[in-house]
Amino acid sequence: MPAIEILGLEKTYSIGFWRKRPKCALRPLHLTVEDGEIFGFLGPNGAGKTTTLKLLMGLVFPSAGSARILGRDWTDPQVKAQIGFLPEQSYFYDYLTAHELLEYYGQLSGVPAKQRKHRVGQVLDQVGLRDVQGVQLRKFSKGMLQRVGIGQAILHNPKLVFFDEPMSGLDPMGRREVRDLMSQLKREGTTVFFSTHILSDAETLCDRVAVIHKGELRGVGAVEELTSSVQGKVEVIWHATQVPASIKALSVECHVTGDRVRAIIDENQQDAIIDALRRERLRLIAITPVRTSLEAYFVEKLRRAETTAGSAL
Amino acid sequence: MSRSCAAPRPRLVLRYEDVRYEEGSMRTRIAYIASNTFREAVRDRVLYNLIAFALLLSGAAILVGQISIEIEKLVVINLGLTAVSLFGIVIAIFIGIGLVSKEIEKRTLYTVLSRPVRRWEFIVGKFFGLAGTLIVNTFFMAIGVFGALFYVSHKFVRADALIFVALYFIVLEFVIICSLTLLFSSFSSPLLSAVFAFSLFVIGSFAEDLRNFAGMAHGFSRWLATGAAYLVPNFSAFNVITSIAHEQPVAGQLILQNTLYALFYATMALSGAVLIFERRDLK
């Protein structure tokens, strides 16, 4: 059973005060997220990522379409007991302490009182806020608030969590910790759906990603699938302090760093360079296919979308 | 996200045998939201300023009473209860206008409504939270009024019990104002909500005059005035402060009538707030 099935969700806002005119925020979106995977929802600012998340959370109403979450209709209140949500740049009740806030959200989520106390303490430890649990949130930094936000999203043991730009406001250490936390959630069987425009995070974490631009889905697939093709090149690394003439003769561009030489060659030159290394008695360290980075894929998709839009005009 | 790298991470997800979720009842969720609204109000410094100001005014009634020969008690009751009513209304409007719009603006609502909380439960919870805050405030301000009264007359008489009726009517006024501020807060900005709510309070205080005017008018203006007179809350029916200060009893029928009217009006206003909020996109 997929964790999320988005069936043509669409959102058009009316903008303007007197003369209302439609603004399409999300074109019909069809997307499936499998149970237990980390799914990255990528796109530049204003692409429709947050609108999609708000639609799934029931914060805005769709112009058309529907969705199923954890096998149920997404408007079913029971669904909400099993999902966690971290909004983008979230603010929380700043008159509450971190402990009080988590306690409150635990109450609203229906976590029984006895388990709530234990669970709140556990989550405070997890997000590194145990020492400041009695401090009002108005005294928290942006990064600390983001930690509270992550804490409230996982507090009630959800089967599926939605994170909207979870790395926002975090320092490099904090970002790494959030990445670790997401990996841990996945290991424990939780499905993670997160939106981001930081591609390195998506590349490191995600099983699959979708790229959205101007409210339209531009591509979806496993990160490896999206980044494995196109180049047709391999990277060869061997031990040497200089490039022998036999390899120079292959017209290969080489970079010498210390006692290693690195060359990017076409796949069809692979056998020739290996033969040359054998003849020269040089030790081969690695041969790796060169993959397109997720960033290159992303930029290519956006560029193609711009070109299509331009030619349509 | 703990900074201590060596420490083993606690498990994020508990097994299902570890955690058994109770299907939280609607009443429980409303109670939690109401209690959080109450806590928010209690931690707001502005609230204390207003209460302190109201108590000061009750204290000032003693001074005014002392220079009002023979009618000290009358002045203390009049000024004291008016202070309770006016400052309560100001507190209700001040806190009520931001109850929904501030939650949308600050996006605190997102993490509430992404839980098993229905939108109408949120509105009703907010209403009870605000109404509860005002009832507690009224209790403390009433202590101030009775203190001032005791200081002036050195004793309580049976007729002083009528003050409780006036306080009850003031609370009913608060109930109506709370529902109205929530109604306005569900679709407009805090500033506009404040203007609407305060205007309705002022017009409602003269609702009897409006009805008398409607009786004298003719044609279209009669229809218009009659419609407006019955649409605005009739706060003038709740104002028994002067008659109570003169130790005139209040008819039981008026108490029943005002109670039913306040409940009906608040229910209608809250239903309007729910209807609007249920359809609103939280952009």
Domain segments of chain A as ranges:
4-227, 232-289
Examine the pLDDT at A257 and tell me if it is beyond 60.
yes
Between CA A146 and CA A86 the distance in angstroms is: 9
Q: Are B9 and A93 an interchain contact pair (Cβ–Cβ within 8 Å)? A: no
The CA dihedral of B195, B238, B123, B141, to the nearest 10 degrees, is 90
Q: What angle (nearest 5°) sits at the alpha carbon of residue B65, between those of residues B59 and B67?
A: 125
Q: Are B114 and A150 an interchain contact pair (Cβ–Cβ within 8 Å)? A: no
Examine the pLDDT at B128 and tell me if it is beyond 60.
yes
* Average pLDDT rounded to a whole number, residues B192-200: 92
**Percent with pLDDT over 90 in chain A:** 44
**Percent with pLDDT over 90 in chain B:** 41
How close B16 gets to chain A, by Cα (Å)?
9
Burial environment of residue A41 by CB neighbours within 10 A (0 to 12, 13 to 18, 19 or more)? buried
Residues of B whose CB is below 8 A from A190: 12-13
| Pair type for strands A38-42 and A191-196 | parallel
> B99 with B182: CB under 8 angstroms?
yes
B177 vs B25 pLDDT, higher one = B177
Assign 3-state DSSP to chain B and report helix, strand, coil percentages, each to 5: 75, 0, 25
For residue A222 the two structure tokens come to: 């496993």
Which residues does residue A41 pair with via DSSP β-bridges, in sequence order?
Answer: A195, A210
DSSP per-residue codes, A207-270: SEEEEEETTEEEEEEEHHHHHHSS--EEEEEEE-SS--HHHHTTT--EEEETTEEEEEEEGGGH
CA atoms within 13 A on the CB side of B9: 22
pLDDT of A264: 83
Residue B92: which of B233, B253, B256, B254 has the closest Cα? B233
Q: Are B282 and A157 an interchain contact pair (Cβ–Cβ within 8 Å)? A: no
Each residue of A4-43: pLDDT tens digit?
A: 999 999 999 888 777 778 888 999 999 999 999 999 999 8
Q: Over chain B, what is the mean pLDDT?
A: 84
pLDDT of B20: 43
How close B37 gets to chain A, by Cα (Å)?
10
Between CA B254 and CA B238 the distance in angstroms is: 9
Between CA A112 and CA B42 the distance in angstroms is: 26
CATH architecture of A4-227: 3-Layer(aba) Sandwich (3.40)
Around Cβ A138, how many Cβ atoms within 10 Å? 11
Q: Are B12 and A185 an interchain contact pair (Cβ–Cβ within 8 Å)? A: yes
Between CA A224 and CA A287 the distance in angstroms is: 18
Q: Which residue of B has its CA nearest to A81?
A: B116
* Average pLDDT rounded to a whole number, residues A190-195: 94
The CATH class that applies to domain A232-289 reads: alpha beta
Q: How confident is the model at residue A45 (pLDDT cuts 50, 70, 90)?
A: confident
CA distance readout (Å), A238 to A247, A268, B22: 12, 18, 62
Residue A182: which of A202, A198, A168 has the closest Cα? A202
For residue A69 the two structure tokens come to: 């979450």
How close B25 gets to chain A, by Cα (Å)?
9
Between CA B92 and CA B82 the distance in angstroms is: 15
How would you classify residue A221: left for phi > 0, otherwise alpha for psi between -120 and 50, otherwise beta?
Answer: left
Q: Which of B12, B18, B37 to mutate to test the interface with A (most CBs of A within 10 A)?
A: B12
Tell me if residue A42 falls in helix, strand or coil: strand
Q: How confident is the model at residue B65 (pLDDT cuts 50, 70, 90)?
A: low
Around Cβ A24, how many Cβ atoms within 10 Å? 14
Q: Which of B48, B104, B114 to mutate to test the interface with A (most CBs of A within 10 A)?
A: B114
Tell me if residue A87 falls in helix, strand or coil: coil
Examine the pLDDT at A313 and tell me if it is beyond 80.
no
Between CA A45 and CA A169 the distance in angstroms is: 16
Examine the pLDDT at B119 and tell me if it is beyond 90.
yes
Tell me if residue A67 falls in helix, strand or coil: strand
Between CA B282 and CA B104 the distance in angstroms is: 7
DSSP tag of A17: S
Q: Are B1 and A112 an interchain contact pair (Cβ–Cβ within 8 Å)? A: no
Tell me if residue A34 falls in helix, strand or coil: coil
Residue A69: in which H helix or E strand, if any? strand A64-69
Phi, psi of A196 (to 5 degrees): -160, 160
Q: Are A108 and B108 an interchain contact pair (Cβ–Cβ within 8 Å)? A: no
Residues of B with CB under 8 A from a CB of A: 1-3, 9-14, 18-24, 28-29, 32-33, 36, 39-40, 43-44, 106-118, 279, 281-283
Annotated domain spans of chain B: 26-191+240-277
For residue B237 the two structure tokens come to: 């029916």
Q: Are A57 and B20 an interchain contact pair (Cβ–Cβ within 8 Å)? A: no
Nearest to B111 among A96, A152, A173 (CB): A152
Nearest to B115 among A105, A115, A126 (CB): A105
> A33 with A76: CB under 8 angstroms?
no
Number of A–B residue contacts, CB under 8 Å: 140
Residues of A whose CB is below 8 A from B43: 95
The H-assigned helical ranges of B186-240 are 190-205, 207-216, 219-231
* Average pLDDT rounded to a whole number, residues A239-253: 83
Which residues does residue A210 pair with via DSSP β-bridges, in sequence order?
Answer: A41, A220
Residues of B whose CB is below 8 A from A61: 279, 281
For residue A298 the two structure tokens come to: 């992303």
B266 vs A23 pLDDT, higher one = B266
Assign 3-state DSSP to chain A and report helix, strand, coil percentages, each to 5: 40, 30, 30
B55 vs B196 pLDDT, higher one = B196
pTM above 0.80, yes or no: yes
